[in-house]
Chains A and B, each alone.
Chain A
Amino acid sequence: MKRAALFALYLCLTLLLLTLTQSQSLNESGAAFIQDEATDARALQMLQARHRALERQLAQLQPPTPYIVVDTARNYLWVKRKDHVVLEAVASTGSGSILDKPGEAGGQWIFDTPRGEFSVQSKLTDPVWVKPDWAFIEEGMSVPRDPAERVEPGVLGEYALGFGKGYFIHGTLYTRLLGRNVTHGCIRLSDEDLRAVYKIAKVGTPILIF
């Protein structure tokens, strides 16, 4: 009995020794694995931190004040503050049609609303339309020499917001055409929406057109 117990003890001690050696090697490889994992985890954390920092940097480029977004394909205008829509309006944008310039071989006017980023450069009340050359040519008339003959009041609505190169966000007499691509490049709005946009927008307000 005593022999059997001693044998069992011997067996257990051998087993213990074996497992200790094995666990030592396992622990070593485990330690290496843990170390690899730790390095990977640290690298991942650093990448995540960099990602968050870059996202913050990109978010800082977003306009801090309300901005205008125009969809020329669907003829919509939005005023947004960050991701929140402050105002949504049906608009009319460029017809995309062309008109030949008389006396200029190959010269054409293309009536597109420009796409890209712009900003409100001027705010006008009771604007008058100073008809450009194309407006006369389109109507089959000769271009007047007297600048006074170009002035046409009452067709742009109560307000106009200029965003460069003669393009404006303005009102219209043809409200039934809102929602269609009918303009010569300007952005038309109904009187009510124009009033609201005029109130929110300031000189410098970004306009993103796509």
Chain B
Amino acid sequence: MSIRLLLCALWLVSGTVSPSLAAGDLPVRPPAELPTPASLREANRVLEEEIKVASRPQTYLLLDLPANAILIKGRGVELQRFTIESWKAADQPKLTGVYRLKQRPPVVRPKTVPGEASEPEPISIAHMPVSYTLHYDPPLIIKVSPSARTSPWSWGLSLLQECWSSLRLWFVHLTTGGQSEALPSVRLTLASDQARALAWTVTEGMPLLIRRTTDK
């Protein structure tokens, strides 16, 4: 009788404890690769903007920072993809909306001399710069530089330029008492052939959209 009572009590206790243990198993976090609400919100924001841009007869750039890629698109169709080796963005939260390129990167064009039998050497991707700055409206600066792997000299030079501009900005900041405001900027490192191809592709007025990262 007493043993029965004891067993019954133990069964009751075990029965009530086990569901609470099961409840403890509930906190299931989605794996990192699954879309989070923040990443979906950002993707949706970019899609909303892209639909507007793609509705017009034009090609446009999509700078996809989480995917480390720059896409040339038209009507929502991906035309070309460039791989970003590394990137750095200042003021990422501000990088929303549609930007328009003010000017193409400069290139030395061959000149045709009237009446000359031999035609000038045509321009090709090889003539395009590997290190350049793209200015956008609303104000945004995109600095493109080649990777150290593909173009060590140009990479070194762009690194020096970056140090110099940081130093200059710091000096301005110091002398104006912190009133100067740097423009939103993105620094992209691409393989030199990709940097050249991007310089070739961009045109004045070409729209740019940016998909930002959402992880803290």
Say whether A148 faces chain B, with CB atoms less than 8 Å apart. no
A-side contacts of B175, CB under 8 Å: none
Cβ A73 vs Cβ B201 within 8 A:
yes
Cβ B74 vs Cβ A210 within 8 A:
yes
| Nearest 4 interchain pairs by C-beta | A140-B115, A5-B2, A12-B9, A96-B123
**Which residue from B6, B17, B20, B115 sits with its C-beta under 8 Å from A9?**
B6
Say whether A86 faces chain B, with CB atoms less than 8 Å apart. no
A-side contacts of B9, CB under 8 Å: 8-9, 11-13, 15-16
Min CB–CB distance A11 → chain B (angstroms): 8
CB within 8 Å of A: which B1-49 residues: 1-3, 5-6, 9-10, 12-13, 16-17, 19-20, 23-24, 26-27, 35, 37, 40-41, 43-44, 47-48
Min CB–CB distance A189 → chain B (angstroms): 17
A-side contacts of B51, CB under 8 Å: 54, 57-58, 61
Cβ B13 vs Cβ A19 within 8 A:
yes
Min CB–CB distance A2 → chain B (angstroms): 7
30 chain-A/chain-B pairs, Cβ below 8 angstroms: A4-B2, A6-B2, A8-B2, A12-B6, A12-B9, A15-B13, A20-B16, A22-B20, A26-B24, A40-B37, A47-B41, A50-B44, A51-B35, A51-B43, A51-B44, A61-B51, A61-B76, A63-B75, A73-B197, A73-B201, A95-B119, A95-B122, A96-B107, A96-B127, A97-B120, A100-B111, A116-B203, A119-B57, A137-B114, A208-B79
Say whether B109 faces chain A, with CB atoms less than 8 Å apart. yes
Say whether B72 faces chain A, with CB atoms less than 8 Å apart. yes
Range of interface residues on chain B? 35 or more
Contact string against B for A residues 81-99, beta-carbon threshold 8 Å, 1 for contact and 0 otherwise: 0010000000000011111
A-side contacts of B6, CB under 8 Å: 5, 8-9, 12
Min CB–CB distance A22 → chain B (angstroms): 7
Cβ B27 vs Cβ A33 within 8 A:
yes
Residue total for A at the interface (Cβ-Cβ under 8 A): 67
CB within 8 Å of B: which A83-123 residues: 83, 95-100, 110, 115-119
Cβ B111 vs Cβ A115 within 8 A:
no
Question: Of A47, A69, A137, which is in contact with the most chain B CB atoms at under 10 Å from its CB?
Answer: A47
Cβ A139 vs Cβ B114 within 8 A:
yes
B-side contacts of A9, CB under 8 Å: 2, 5-6, 9
Known A58-B47, A116-B59; judge A210-B2 contact (CB<8 A).
Answer: no
Residues on A lying within 8 angstroms of B by beta carbon are 1-2, 4-6, 8-9, 11-13, 15-16, 19-20, 22-23, 26-27, 30, 33-34, 37, 40, 43-44, 47-48, 50-51, 54-55, 57-59, 61-63, 67, 69, 71-73, 80, 83, 95-100, 110, 115-119, 137-140, 180-182, 206, 208-210
Please, how many angstroms separate the alpha-carbon atoms of A22 and B13 in the complex?
Answer: 12
CB within 8 Å of A: which B120-160 residues: 120, 122-125, 127
Cβ B26 vs Cβ A37 within 8 A:
yes
Question: Of B19, B116, B122, which is in contact with the most chain A CB atoms at under 10 Å from its CB?
Answer: B122
A-B contact count (CB 8 A): 179
Min CB–CB distance A36 → chain B (angstroms): 10
A-side contacts of B17, CB under 8 Å: 19, 23
Min CB–CB distance A95 → chain B (angstroms): 4
Min CB–CB distance B1 → chain A (angstroms): 7
A-side contacts of B109, CB under 8 Å: 96-98, 110
Contact string against A for B residues 41-74, beta-carbon threshold 8 Å, 1 for contact and 0 otherwise: 1011001101100110111000000000000101
Please, how many angstroms separate the alpha-carbon atoms of A57 and B46 in the complex?
Answer: 13
A-side contacts of B1, CB under 8 Å: 5
Cβ B13 vs Cβ A12 within 8 A:
yes
Known A5-B2, A43-B37; judge A55-B59 contact (CB<8 A).
Answer: no
Please, how many angstroms separate the alpha-carbon atoms of A73 and B203 in the complex?
Answer: 13
Known A97-B122, A98-B112; judge A58-B76 contact (CB<8 A).
Answer: yes
